[in-house]
Amino acid sequence: MTERPVITYSVVYYQQGQDSSSVTLTVNAPTTTVMIDLVACRMETTVSSDRGAFEWPETMSDSTVNISCPNGPSGATANRKCTNNSTWESPNVTFCATSVISNRFRNISKVNVTAENVVSIFENLTDLVMSTTDAADQNTDNIRTVSAILNQTANLLSDPIIIMNLSSSELLMVYDMFYH
């Protein structure tokens, strides 16, 4: 037989002009142990072959978590639901930019456009823009990169000396890219 805990209450009564009297009440009370288990999906890493690695934090059951996209664009998030039985659903990464295109935009944004590389930069930029078919890659970060390169190119091509040093085929190519 398990021993029950004893709970004792003592009450002392005082009445003016009389001796005090007390009452003691002892109760053998059954106890119940309650286990509270917080149910959650465990932290997990998933890797998308074209969008990068995603670190999903521990998440309470029946909740959805949003995390930043590893390759951008700025402000874009991936999300994933932790079901009510603490299993992860498949992640939604459709708003995340692809790794290859993001890396190409990052690399081309670091190049300073000069008279020596204006044609090759322009060719690479044209190829990159034409290969950007995923909606998540057509984002403001990449558009800013294109705009910056076009501004550098326009500033460079406003110099008559640079124009005179370009071959006729290079001039024609640049003209076609700007005006067609």
Nearest to 123 by CA among 108, 138, 142, 133: 108
Preceding omega of 73 cis (within 30 degrees of 0): yes
Q: Work out whether strand 52-56 and strand 59-60 pair parallel, antiparallel, or are unpaired.
A: unpaired
> pTM for the whole thing?
0.65
Q: State the alpha helices, DSSP H only, in 114-159.
A: 118-131, 140-157
- Which of 98-102, 133-137, 157-161 has the weakest average pLDDT? 157-161
Is 128 within 8 Å of 149 (Cβ atoms)? no
Residue recorded with tokens 């823009």: 129
Q: What tens digit of pLDDT does each residue of 84-108 get?
A: 999 999 999 999 999 999 999 999 9
Of the pLDDT bands very low, low, confident and very high (cuts 50, 70, 90), residue 36 is: low
Residue 134 lies in a domain: yes
Residue 86 lies in a domain: no
Residue 34 lies in a domain: no
Residue 88 lies in a domain: no
Question: Residue 13 corresponds to which tokens in the numbers above?
Answer: 């009564």
d(Cα 162, Cα 152) in Å, to the nearest integer?
A: 13
Of the pLDDT bands very low, low, confident and very high (cuts 50, 70, 90), residue 153 is: confident
Range of the domain at 167: 99-179
| Stretch 37-41: mean pLDDT | 79
Q: What tens digit of pLDDT does each residue of 49-79 get?
A: 999 999 999 999 999 999 999 999 999 999 9
pLDDT > 70: what percent of the chain?
A: 77
Residue 142 lies in a domain: yes
Give residue 176's pLDDT: 72
| Stretch 173-180: mean pLDDT | 68
36 or 122: which carries more pLDDT confidence? 122
Give residue 147's pLDDT: 94
> What's the total number of domains in the chain?
1
Identity of residue 32: T
Residue 122 lies in a domain: yes
Nearest to 110 by CA among 85, 147, 145, 63: 145
Q: Tell me the CA distances in angstroms from 53 to 26, 70, 89, 128, one per residue in order.
A: 63, 7, 16, 23
Q: For the chain, give the mean pLDDT.
A: 85
H or E element, residue 164: helix 160-165
Is 58 within 8 Å of 43 (Cβ atoms)? yes
Residue 109 lies in a domain: yes
d(Cα 84, Cα 130) in Å, to the nearest integer?
A: 44
158 has pLDDT over 90: no
Residue 145 lies in a domain: yes
Give residue 140's pLDDT: 94
